[in-house]
Chain A
Amino acid sequence: MSKKTLTLMSKDKQLFNIEEHLAVQSVTIRNMVKEDGASSVIPLPRVDSETLALVIEYLNRQQAPEEDEDYVKKFVDERGEIPTLLELAQAALDLDIKKLMDAACMKVADLIKDFTLEEVREALRIENDRTPEEEKAIRDEFQWAF
């Protein structure tokens, strides 16, 4: 049986080939293949090429099921930068690859758990919408945690 190949296109129009039986680990792709056979190129408008390359690398892993958990952990550990991990998590979310997304989120949580407020805001790209007075009231409620 010949192995069918799919083509994925990143945000910056780069093309990536991947064997179909590996690509369908992504629920999103699986559904597309089911619907129309996905003969043409699958565009991924929110995923940049660097991230897509990582996702492809992950999908191409050849791992025994029992080693898989460890592999996913190691895979995200090696890419321990928060921005990379967030991109990866976002791509995994879009493509619906649950294991990868969970692992990436877990790694981010682990990295930010001791961050200060400012650092958390910066890492997760959140804007502060509070006045210092409001902040103080919330802070005082559980002073020991700060």
Chain B
Amino acid sequence: MGYESEMDCRTCVDKYHESLALLDVGHSDSSEEAMNALMNAVGGWSPSVIIPRRVVYDVGKKMDGVRQQYDFGSKLPDELIVQILSMLPAKSLLRCRLVCKSWLNLINSTEFKLMHLHNFNQLNPRCFVRRLLVVAEECYDVHLDDEAFTFDDSTQIELPLLLVSTCVLGLSDVAMALFASLMMITLSKACDHPWNPSIRRKLTIPLPMVWYDKMSDDYKVVSLAYDECSSTTRPQVVLYYSFSPILILKYSCNLNHLLLLLSQVKVYTVKTGIWRKVVIFNGSVHWIAWDPTPGVSYHSIGSHYSIMTFDITTELFGEIQLPEFSADGLLMVSYLENLWLSFVLPV
């Protein structure tokens, strides 16, 4: 792969990258070993490695519906067919759509996509690796999550656009287009490009805001209100919700306002006194918002933070007040090229 000489990878060890970890590709208990193996394999540069986490879906329940729904015209029980197909790589599945009509319907169904995502990725855990080259170019690879950290050449990661300002914002663990194993959202000046390398397909969606709604198996485009006159100005936000406990925040240069989408919002429950690391629950997206006050930087103590909520179904915004942060409870903020931030609240 010729990594060695050309790479001078800046280490982007930050929560931002962890927040990208939603590659969902099964889990890895051995993140450290995997990292070491990778380092050995490529000789010394410091990649940011995205270690996948296990995402469990209630597949069984969903698939009951699928089983009843399809007639595969085979002598074999449907359950077997579904099971076998859910273990095939995306490329094989693309071909299998042609086998017969019911297979196409099955493979295109949301239930099957979720099942495939779960089964295939659990059998073939992979890691998404992001590298920054000397020439300030970014590179993306997929490696198998094995001892040798084998390069996975069946999943080609080629940036779908040749845009200077392209940058990968997030990874989703859900098939937006077809079968998901890996989803990226790239951003250019005018458009978002949800992109699924497994099937080499990208979509182009104009800004401002888009997300994928599991219930309707569709994208939702939302824009947050920006009230210039109000004293409690909310930033104009582009919210990338990529269907997993991951939200990324964008800093809007023009408006000089922060817009925070949070990688791992933890939600404080007063009753139990417990912080929960949930971003999407009760059907709402949760993220941290910050009120920009002149002269107060966004990470200083006096800043006002709250958790904003957005109910996906009713499309209503809400706000949850956060408790005061103590001096040692500073938010951790990490920068990425002055544009991308992510936040982790103290435990």
Chain A positions near chain B (C-beta within 8 angstroms): 86, 89-90, 93, 101-102, 105-106, 108-110, 112-115, 117, 120-121, 124-130, 135, 138-139, 142, 144-146
Known contacts being A109-B84, A109-B87, A109-B88, is A135 close to B98, with CB within 8 Å?
A: yes
Which residues of A sit under 8 angstroms from B79, Cβ to Cβ? 93
* A130 contacts B83, C-beta separation under 8 Å: no
Which residues of A sit under 8 angstroms from B98, Cβ to Cβ? 117, 130, 135, 138-139
* A106 contacts B87, C-beta separation under 8 Å: yes
Query: Roughly how many angstroms separate A90 CA and B84 CA in the complex, as a whole number?
Result: 12
Chain A interface secondary structure, helix, strand, loop or mixed? helix
* B95 contacts A146, C-beta separation under 8 Å: yes
Query: Roughly how many angstroms separate A138 CA and B95 CA in the complex, as a whole number?
Result: 9
Known contacts being A102-B83, A124-B74, A124-B76, is A130 close to B101, with CB within 8 Å?
A: yes
Inter-chain residue pair count (beta carbon < 8 A)? 83
B305 at the interface (CB under 8 A from A): no
In the complex, besides A93-B77, A115-B92, A125-B76, 8 extra interface pairs with C-beta distance below 8 angstroms are: A105-B84, A117-B95, A117-B96, A124-B99, A125-B74, A129-B73, A138-B97, A142-B94
- The residue on B at minimum CB distance from A145 is B94
Within 8 A of A (CB), among B29-73: 72-73
B258 at the interface (CB under 8 A from A): no
B185 at the interface (CB under 8 A from A): no
Query: Roughly how many angstroms separate A113 CA and B90 CA in the complex, as a whole number?
Result: 10
Which residues of B sit under 8 angstroms from A106, Cβ to Cβ? 87, 123
State the interface size on chain B (CB cutoff 8 A): 31
Q: Sort A-B residue pairs by CB-CB distance and give the 4 closest, nearest first.
A: A109-B87, A145-B94, A105-B83, A113-B92
Query: Roughly how many angstroms separate A71 CA and B101 CA in the complex, as a whole number?
Result: 37
Most A C-beta atoms less than 10 A away, residue of B83, B87, B97, B98? B98
Q: Output the least CB separation between B77 and chain A (Å).
A: 6
Which residues of A sit under 8 angstroms from B255, Cβ to Cβ? none
- The residue on A at minimum CB distance from B89 is A113
* A117 contacts B99, C-beta separation under 8 Å: yes
B104 at the interface (CB under 8 A from A): yes
Query: Roughly how many angstroms separate A36 CA and B166 CA in the complex, as a whole number?
Result: 66
* A121 contacts B123, C-beta separation under 8 Å: no
B347 at the interface (CB under 8 A from A): no
Known contacts being A106-B123, A129-B101, is A112 close to B83, with CB within 8 Å?
A: no
Q: Output the least CB separation between B47 and chain A (Å).
A: 28
Known contacts being A106-B87, A113-B88, A138-B104, is A120 close to B76, with CB within 8 Å?
A: no
Known contacts being A109-B87, A114-B92, A138-B104, is A90 close to B80, with CB within 8 Å?
A: yes
Q: Output the least CB separation between A62 and chain B (Å).
A: 26
Query: Roughly how many angstroms separate A104 CA and B292 CA in the complex, as a whole number?
Result: 58
- The residue on B at minimum CB distance from A128 is B100
Query: Roughly how many angstroms separate A105 CA and B99 CA in the complex, as a whole number?
Result: 18
A interface footprint on B82-125 (CB within 8 Å = 1, 0 otherwise): 01110111011011111111011000000000000000000100
B199 at the interface (CB under 8 A from A): yes
Within 8 A of A (CB), among B193-212: 199-201
A-B contact pairs, 28 of them (CB 8 A): A89-B83, A90-B80, A93-B80, A105-B80, A105-B84, A105-B87, A108-B84, A112-B84, A112-B88, A113-B88, A113-B92, A115-B92, A120-B95, A120-B96, A125-B74, A126-B100, A126-B103, A128-B99, A129-B100, A130-B100, A130-B101, A138-B97, A142-B94, A142-B201, A145-B91, A145-B94, A145-B95, A146-B95
Which residues of B sit under 8 angstroms from A89, Cβ to Cβ? 80, 83-84
Which residues of A sit under 8 angstroms from B84, Cβ to Cβ? 89, 105, 108-109, 112, 124
B75 at the interface (CB under 8 A from A): yes
Query: Roughly how many angstroms separate A139 CA and B97 CA in the complex, as a whole number?
Result: 9
Query: Roughly how many angstroms separate A86 CA and B74 CA in the complex, as a whole number?
Result: 12
* A124 contacts B81, C-beta separation under 8 Å: yes
Query: Roughly how many angstroms separate A102 CA and B81 CA in the complex, as a whole number?
Result: 12
Which residues of B sit under 8 angstroms from A93, Cβ to Cβ? 77, 79-80
Which residues of B sit under 8 angstroms from A135, Cβ to Cβ? 98
Which residues of B sit under 8 angstroms from A102, Cβ to Cβ? 83
* B96 contacts A86, C-beta separation under 8 Å: no
